[in-house]
Structure 1
């Protein structure tokens, strides 16, 4: 995108918010970089330079605009649409892998050498993994500076900096303000928060239809792990350094997010997982434009544009829940999952609501007695098989997973059929083209709309929807009156 100069100039001149996060505009005369929708008068085209990442702009000596806050724009949709090395690396960096394990940890997660990863990221993003992680640390630091009363030293280490000096230097370089000045500027607009919580705004590209997004999460919520309370979806989070509780509330132009963490070093990863859960980095204009070209889907898109794919904060958790949901109702799947939570989940305190447990780890579930499960014998075998594979990390379902390899490994397990593979690919791996032609609800919707109802014929008909078939599924599911399609009250 950033190499198409004419298109970038038009986007900046029209202040087109659809391109926020796709590229960044640096201004030679001011030394700052902005998002395309920056409200200040656009510079002359000859003074513009375009970069594919904030890190690349920073490396070239530009600082972030104080007005449009380009570091807080939605992430590029490319990293969730693609499954190549760059996209996988970006998903892992967003999850905080470099802060925890350095570039060697990133390389180990991807199965490539550090040199290969460095070369690939530099070629496409104009910045290496360390620079990309540094830009992310700066944004995390800014969030903590502006939304908490934590001492600056605590913020430095929570954001992933190795020293307070590095933290101070980076904040000054990126934002042209000292950390204390950033806090002073934000003090008048800081949202109120209870002790131990952080209040954040999660941006997204408009439009966003919250109905099926929150409706699905709430209708399938596991008691004790998830709940709908006071107009917000709440759930517990298992994170690398500890655990947390998140509250997500839809607003017209953002998602209001309240986070309570036992270890602030988990902030970056928690935000990344919440964004992935709600599919907030999607490009709904591109998705809806293609789906609208189908005369059957066009009325559905026009009625409620901007549908997202409800995903997950924990791929291993979702894989277990997908097996529990095989050939049973939503209510039955919730009951089975709740029993596992009570027997094997870790208790947590939630003074603000009714959450009681973390969903059990795959390692904890390997100790369960199959005979204690109120499931058919074949389903018990499938559950114990997939938990063993997850515990051994033999499936590769993390943020940097190779989608094709993960699909193949899932399909090789006994009892894991096409529906389970596809629904895990859609919601756990984040594949935007995952399709579930054997799903009963999808086939019923297709039949009512005059589409082919058999899996093979429906798959052939859906070829025109690629690479957005997972989004087409959301529009088709929405034709039913199932609770997953209704915004809870």
Structure 2
């Protein structure tokens, strides 16, 4: 979009927040870059320059606006709508792969050469992997500076900088303030405690929290997830340790309270929390397409902005999807809770009732399938899935190839179309995943006068593409089920 100058200028002049994160506006005369909705008086068109990412603006020598804080915008929805190389790379960079494994590790995860990855990112995003990771480190540093009382040396380490000097230089260059000046300007409350950071997660309006949080809580695994004091809480398995996140919906943002065993995981935990709640979606674009269908128009108009509840751990969700095959929500929770109690790593939660991490792929492969209280076919499916994930034969992570993952899932014994598409929808994050055979979807289709057989409904749903996963949320919302309601 940033190449369409006229459209960008209109968005800046109207201060349209819907375009925050789609592009960034740099001002030649001031040397700063802003989000489109920046409240300052728009500059002359001749002084505007447009960039596809904050990293590209920083690389061009611009510093972040102190008023609109462009680094705190929702991410571009493009990276969660697509499955090409650039989108997969952007998701992996957000998940911290470059900081952990370097650019070679990023390229290896994608199955391309370093040169190919760098060339395509430069062509579309205006910056290479290192610049994009640096911009993310700067954002993480700002969050820690403003929301914690950590010494600056600890902030530098936690944000991923190799030295305090690099940390100081980057913060000054990006924000035109020293770290100590940033902290003195911040109007922060009392710190959340050792290892705890409280941040605001922005999103594009509208947002309907009912099905988003309702679904997560209704399907929550005891010990791993809970609803407490108006917040969805869960444990997190992270690259350097573990954590607990509490997510509370607000009018204009989601409050995110993270307690981490290692603060180096902060940016990864934030990225996964945003992904869980689908906060980088463009609800206006989604609802515009779905609202054109007369059968969905009323549902879209009554509760616009529905998101697809996703996951913070693709391995966990895939196993839970298999455990939930052909059983009720309550039964699926019971099966998952037994697995967690027997094989999950214990954690401490002084502020709630969380007790375990969901077992990872290595732990799952060590389980004797015969010990699982499941039908024999289901035990074999769990074992085959865990083995494929542990051996790297199946990739469901942030940088996964959606088509390849679907094909490999379909090869596993006991994995049918419903399971494949459910995993694609919530673990892979494909916005066009569709489950026409789901009982709730078929029931809603009949109630709305839509075709109710899977084949006929799939043909009708072609008009909903590429947003069929969101159509599923609107269809499910027609039923009286706890997944559609915020808990009391």
TM-score, normalised relative to structure 2: 0.99
Name the residue aligned to 2:156.
156
Name the residue aligned to 1:476.
475
3-state secondary structure, aligned to 2:294: coil
Q: Structure 1 residue runs of 4+, over 6 Å off? A: none
3-state secondary structure, aligned to 1:235: strand
Partners of 2:310 and 2:459 lie apart in 1 by 25
Is 1:14 paired with 2:38? no
Residue pair 1:419, 1:436 contacting (<8 A) in 2 also = yes
Name the residue aligned to 2:235.
236
Name the residue aligned to 2:466.
467
3-state secondary structure, aligned to 1:374: coil
TM-superposition CA deviations, 1:66-105 (whole Å, max 9, x none): 0000000000000000000000000000000000011011
Name the residue aligned to 1:194.
193
Partners of 2:375 and 2:322 lie apart in 1 by 12
How far off its partner does 1:325 sit? Answer: 0.2
Partners of 1:484 and 1:456 lie apart in 2 by 26
Q: Which runs of 5+ in 1 are unaligned?
A: none
Name the residue aligned to 2:144.
144
Name the residue aligned to 1:272.
271
Partners of 2:74 and 2:444 lie apart in 1 by 32
Name the residue aligned to 2:341.
342
Structural mapping, 1:83-482, within 5 Å: 83-186=83-186, 188-190=187-189, 192-482=191-481
How far off its partner does 1:366 sit? Answer: 1.4
Of 34-43 and 373-382, more deviation after overlay is shown by 373-382
Residue pair 2:148, 2:191 contacting (<8 A) in 1 also = no
How far off its partner does 1:46 sit? Answer: 1.0
Partners of 1:400 and 1:195 lie apart in 2 by 32
Residue pair 1:211, 1:485 contacting (<8 A) in 2 also = yes
How far off its partner does 1:311 sit? Answer: 0.1
Distance 1:35 1:183, change over 3 A: same
TM-superposition CA deviations, 1:345-383 (whole Å, max 9, x none): 000000000000000112111122222222111111111
How far off its partner does 1:391 sit? Answer: 1.2
Residue pair 1:146, 1:190 contacting (<8 A) in 2 also = no
Residue pair 2:223, 2:337 contacting (<8 A) in 1 also = yes
Number of aligned positions between the proteins:
488
How far off its partner does 1:191 sit? Answer: 5.6
How far off its partner does 1:190 sit? Answer: 3.7
3-state secondary structure, aligned to 2:256: strand
Residue pair 1:341, 1:360 contacting (<8 A) in 2 also = yes
Residue pair 1:229, 1:353 contacting (<8 A) in 2 also = yes
Residue pair 2:147, 2:188 contacting (<8 A) in 1 also = no
Partners of 1:59 and 1:373 lie apart in 2 by 54
Partners of 2:96 and 2:352 lie apart in 1 by 28
Q: Which runs of 5+ in 2 are unaligned?
A: none
How far off its partner does 1:192 sit? Answer: 4.7
TM-superposition CA deviations, 1:415-457 (whole Å, max 9, x none): 0000000000000000000000010010000011110000000
3-state secondary structure, aligned to 1:479: coil
Residue pair 1:233, 1:247 contacting (<8 A) in 2 also = yes
How far off its partner does 1:144 sit? Answer: 0.4
How far off its partner does 1:189 sit? Answer: 3.4
Partners of 1:385 and 1:119 lie apart in 2 by 38
3-state secondary structure, aligned to 1:25: strand
Partners of 1:273 and 1:476 lie apart in 2 by 26
Partners of 2:283 and 2:230 lie apart in 1 by 24
3-state secondary structure, aligned to 1:342: helix
Name the residue aligned to 2:51.
51
Partners of 1:344 and 1:372 lie apart in 2 by 11
Residue pair 1:191, 1:199 contacting (<8 A) in 2 also = no
Partners of 2:282 and 2:382 lie apart in 1 by 35
Residue pair 2:195, 2:263 contacting (<8 A) in 1 also = no
